[in-house]
Amino acid sequence: MADRIALVTGAGVRVGEAIARALAKDGWTVAAHYRTHRPRGFASALQADLAAADGPARLAAAFRARHRRLDLLVNSASVFDALPLAGTDAAAFDSQMDLNARAPLLLVRALAPLLARARGSVVNVIDVGGGLVPWKGYAAYAASKAALARLTECLALELAPRVRVNGVAPGTVLWPERYPAAQRRALTARIPLGRPGTPEDVAAAVRYLADAPFVTGAVLPVDGGRHLSGRAG
């Protein structure tokens, strides 16, 4: 396992960092992408603004300059903004689509030859909100994650049989700081398993998909059953 190489985007913070550290603990060589918070303790740390039009190509070039193979690409970098309809203009919509949907697509395109050579896989970090169920007050974000979920399926078809493409859809994992205690209790009450998840729960799902040779085109909910309610918020 020590010779397997993973590139994890958004590895400087939150869920992305947990995924990167779990893979490293399992013996993967991890290239950790970041935008502002440089992570420590990985084989390489690669800075890029993936929301920029040339960001994915720059990250792919930086990765290829340091590593000769790629077994796993985890697209975890994302932006999460609560935007009611009245506050959603073209720029606000584009900012979420650019990072949450366009960047993963372009990064997969740039790195597909390396992934195919290694018979590797892609895991996209989606979200129950948008990816699986609608979310009131988060239309732009939900649309970007719904797009990523469908891209996951399309890319699974296009890149088979040499590359598998799957997704994980976390639910409540890390509370936004703006959520008051009452809102947190109300949301937790709608989770059948009775608790919020942890970044490590998401990392465990990514590790499973990375080692599941007969799974592709799947989006795995990691939400304690919250998607069964039919809505995210």
Domain harbouring 100, CATH code:
3.40.50.720
pLDDT (tens digit per residue) in 113-127: 999 999 999 999 999
CB atoms under 10 Å from CB of 217, counted, come to 15
Of the chain, the percentage scoring pLDDT greater than 90 comes to 84
* Local confidence band at 1 (pLDDT 50, 70, 90 cut-offs): very low
Among candidate residues 138, 141, 179, 208, the one labeled active-site is: 141
Q: Does 53 score more than 70 pLDDT?
A: yes
- Alpha carbon 14 to chain centroid distance? 11
So what's the pLDDT on residue 211? Answer: 98
**Token pair 């994915």: residue:** 56
Kind plus residue range of the DSSP H or E element containing 33: strand 29-34
Catalytic residue list contains 138: no
Note down the domain range covering 59: 5-229
Extract the tokens encoding 40.
Answer: 């420590």
Is-contact 104 51, C-beta < 8 A? no
Residue 119: which region, alpha, beta or left (left: phi > 0; alpha: psi -120 to 50)?
Answer: left
Task: State how far the Cα of 71 lies from the Cα of 84, in Å rounded to an integer.
Answer: 39
Q: Total structural domains in the chain? A: 1
The answer to whether the bond into 113 is cis (omega within 30° of 0) is no
pLDDT (tens digit per residue) in 93-147: 999 999 999 999 999 999 999 999 999 999 999 999 889 999 899 999 999 999 9
Strands (DSSP E) contained in 42-199 are 44-47, 72-75, 121-125, 164-170
So what's the pLDDT on residue 233? Answer: 63
Indicate the pTM of the whole model.
Answer: 0.95
